[in-house]
C-alpha cells in the first residue's frame, strides 16, 4: 500500500497519473530521443553479469552438495537408556486405554526407564506392545527399556481387578475382598458406612448399585476397598454424562437414574449385545402403555440369585423388585451395566415390540403379538425340557434372558 491510498491525487509517474510534458516543448511536438547507449559499455556490463552468475552457481552448487553429504552422514540421535535389569522395585499402574506414550511417561516418572523415546522405540519393534493389559506392574528402577517392555507385555504380570459387565454390587464386593485379601464383608461394609465419601450422585441415595462400572482397575500394595469403589463410581459418572445422557433421558420420559436402571435391566435380560437395543425398546414401550415389565431378572435380584427358572410362586414375591406385581421401574438398578447396555438405553432400537423370549441361545424373538409370543414361549419350554445334552447349551444363568420360564410359569411370558 502506498501513500496514494491515503492522500488524494496521483503523483507524476504513478499508474493513471497525467504525463507532465517537458517545459518549452509545444503540444504535439515529438519527444527528444535520449542519447544512444555506448555498445562497449553494454558488452562490458553483460560480461560482468554472466561472470557473477557463474560464480554464484558454482559456489552455491558446492554448498548444496556439501550440506547434502553432511546430512547423509548423520544418524538418528541415540535415545538415553539404562542397561540391565534395574535395581529397586517399584509399582507402575497402567490404566485402561493407555497408549504407549502415556505408559512411557509413567515409566519415566517412576524412574523405571531413562527416557520415553527409548521405551517407545523398543515398543514399536514388538508386535505384542499393543496388547499391554491394564493393571499394576512390579518393575525395577533404572532398567533398560527392553527389559521393562518384556515385563509389561506378559499379562500374568498385570495386577489388576477386572469387573465383568452385569455383575451385581454383591459380586463386586466379594471380588474386591478377595483381591485385597480382606475379611469377607469388608468392602460391602465400606460401601455402606462411607457412602458419602464415594462420589455418588444424590439421587442414588447412598447405593452404589449401577455405578460400579465394569472395567479393569489397577491394584497396588496401598490400594484400599474405598479406593476401588471411588474409581468405579467416578468412571460410571463419566460414562453416564456422555452423549447428553440427562437430556436424552428426559426425551425418553426418564430421569438419569431411571436410565441407569433401564440399562441395568437390559444388561440382565439381553442374550447378546445385538439384542440390547430391542430389549430396551420393549421396556420403554411397556412403560409407555402402563404395562408391568414382568422381568425375571428383577425377581432374581430380589432373591439374590441367577437362574432361568421363574415359578408361579416367584412371581408372587412380596418385593418392590417384583415387576410382575409392581408397575414401572424397580426402585434401583439391578446390576452394573457396561457401555453397550448404556448406549442401548440411550438409543433404543425402533419397533413396536411388547414381548420377547430367548427360545434358544442366539435366538431371541421379539413381537407385538401376544398369540405369537405365547407360541414362542411354548417352544422355549420345550427346549428347556429337552435332554441334558441340549440343556447344556442353554444360556448362562449369569445373564438370564427375558422370558426364561419353565412349563409351570403363568402363561409363559404371555401376560407381558
Break the chain into its structural domains and give their ranges.
Answer: 89-158, 161-240, 244-391
pLDDT in the model for residue 25? 37
pLDDT in the model for residue 97? 85
Cβ neighbours of residue 357 closer than 8 Å, sequence gap 6 or more: 364, 365, 373, 376, 377, 380, 401, 402, 403, 404, 412, 413
Nearest of 366, 381, 252, 210 to residue 310 by alpha carbon: 381
What CATH superfamily classification does 89-158 receive? Endolytic murein transglycosylase (3.30.1490.480)
pLDDT in the model for residue 310? 86
pLDDT in the model for residue 179? 96
> pTM to 2 decimals?
0.72
Through-space distance between the first and last CA atoms of the chain, rounded to whole angstroms = 81
Q: Tell me how far apart the alpha carbons of residues 30 and 145 are, in angstroms, rounded to a whole number.
A: 88
Q: Centre a 10 Å sphere on the Cβ of residue 384 and count the other Cβ atoms it contains.
A: 18
DSSP symbol at 34: P
pLDDT digits (tens, 9 = 90+) for 236-257: 999 998 878 889 999 999 999 9
109: number of CA atoms within 13 Å, CB side? 10
375: number of CA atoms within 13 Å, CB side? 7
Q: Tell me how far apart the alpha carbons of residues 289 and 69 are, in angstroms, rounded to a whole number.
A: 81
Q: Tell me how far apart the alpha carbons of residues 133 and 103 are, in angstroms, rounded to a whole number.
A: 11
416 residues of the chain, pLDDT tens digit each: 444 443 333 333 333 333 333 334 344 444 444 444 554 554 555 455 545 554 445 455 555 455 554 454 455 566 899 999 999 999 999 988 899 999 999 999 999 999 999 999 999 988 888 889 999 999 999 999 999 999 999 999 999 999 999 999 999 999 999 999 999 999 999 999 999 999 999 999 999 999 999 999 999 989 999 999 999 999 999 999 887 888 999 999 999 999 999 999 999 999 899 999 999 999 999 999 999 999 999 999 999 998 878 889 999 999 999 999 999 999 999 999 999 999 999 999 999 999 999 998 889 999 999 999 999 999 998 988 875 444 444 433 333 333 433 333 333 343 43
Location of C-alpha cell 474386591: 176
Q: Tell me how far apart the alpha carbons of residues 42 and 48 are, in angstroms, rounded to a whole number.
A: 10
Contact 274, 396 (CB under 8 A): no
| Residue 261: its H or E element | helix 256-269
Helix axes of 225-240 and 339-346: crossing angle, nearest 10 degrees = 30
Amino acid at each position: 500500500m502506498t501513500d496514494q491510498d491515503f492522500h488524494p491525487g496521483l503523483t507524476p509517474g504513478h499508474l493513471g497519473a497525467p504525463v507532465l510534458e517537458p517545459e518549452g516543448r509545444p503540444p504535439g511536438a515529438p519527444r527528444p530521443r535520449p542519447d544512444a547507449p555506448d555498445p562497449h559499455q553494454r558488452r562490458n556490463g553483460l560480461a560482468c553479469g554472466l561472470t557473477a552468475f557463474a560464480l554464484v552457481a558454482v559456489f552455491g552448487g558446492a554448498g548444496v552438495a556439501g550440506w547434502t553429504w553432511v546430512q547423509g552422514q548423520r544418524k538418528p540421535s541415540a535415545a538415553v537408556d539404562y542397561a540391565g535389569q534395574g535395581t529397586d522395585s517399584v509399582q507402575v499402574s497402567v490404566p485402561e486405554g493407555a497408549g504407549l506414550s502415556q505408559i512411557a511417561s509413567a515409566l519415566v516418572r517412576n524412574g523405571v526407564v531413562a527416557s520415553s523415546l527409548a521405551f517407545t522405540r523398543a515398543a514399536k519393534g514388538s508386535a505384542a506392545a499393543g496388547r499391554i493389559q491394564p493393571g499394576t506392574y512390579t518393575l525395577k528402577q533404572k532398567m533398560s527399556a527392553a527389559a521393562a517392555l518384556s515385563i509389561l507385555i506378559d499379562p500374568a504380570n498385570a495386577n489388576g481387578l477386572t469387573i465383568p459387565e452385569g455383575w451385581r454390587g454383591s459380586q463386586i464386593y466379594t471380588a474386591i475382598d478377595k483381591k485385597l485379601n480382606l475379611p469377607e464383608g469388608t468392602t460391602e461394609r465400606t460401601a455402606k458406612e462411607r457412602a458419602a465419601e464415594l462420589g455418588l450422585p444424590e439421587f442414588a441415595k447412598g447405593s452404589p448399585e449401577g455405578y460400579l462400572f465394569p472395567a479393569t482397575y489397577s491394584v497396588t500394595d496401598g490400594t484400599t476397598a474405598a479406593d476401588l469403589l471411588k474409581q468405579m463410581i467416578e468412571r460410571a459418572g463419566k460414562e453416564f454424562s456422555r452423549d447428553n445422557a440427562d437430556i436424552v433421558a428426559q426425551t425418553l420420559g426418564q430421569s438419569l437414574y431411571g436410565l441407569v436402571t433401564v440399562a441395568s435391566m437390559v444388561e440382565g435380560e439381553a442374550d447378546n449385545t445385538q439384542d440390547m437395543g430391542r430389549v430396551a425398546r420393549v421396556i420403554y414401550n411397556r412403560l409407555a402403555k402402563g404395562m408391568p415389565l414382568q422381568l425375571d431378572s428383577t425377581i432374581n435380584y430380589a432373591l439374590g440369585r441367577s437362574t432361568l427358572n421363574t415359578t408361579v410362586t416367584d412371581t408372587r414375591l412380596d418385593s418392590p423388585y417384583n415387576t410382575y406385581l409392581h408397575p414401572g421401574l424397580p426402585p434401583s438398578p439391578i446390576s452394573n451395566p457396561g457401555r453397550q447396555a448404556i448406549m442401548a438405553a440411550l438409543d433404543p432400537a425402533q419397533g413396536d415390540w411388547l414381548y420377547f423370549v430367548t427360545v434358544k441361545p442366539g435366538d431371541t424373538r421379539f413381537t407385538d403379538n401376544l398369540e405369537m409370543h405365547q407360541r414362542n414361549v411354548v417352544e422355549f419350554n420345550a427346549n428347556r425340557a429337552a435332554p441334558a445334552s441340549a440343556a447344556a447349551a442353554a444360556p448362562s444363568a449369569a445373564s438370564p434372558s427375558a422370558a426364561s420360564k419353565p412349563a409351570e410359569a403363568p402363561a409363559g411370558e404371555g401376560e407381558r
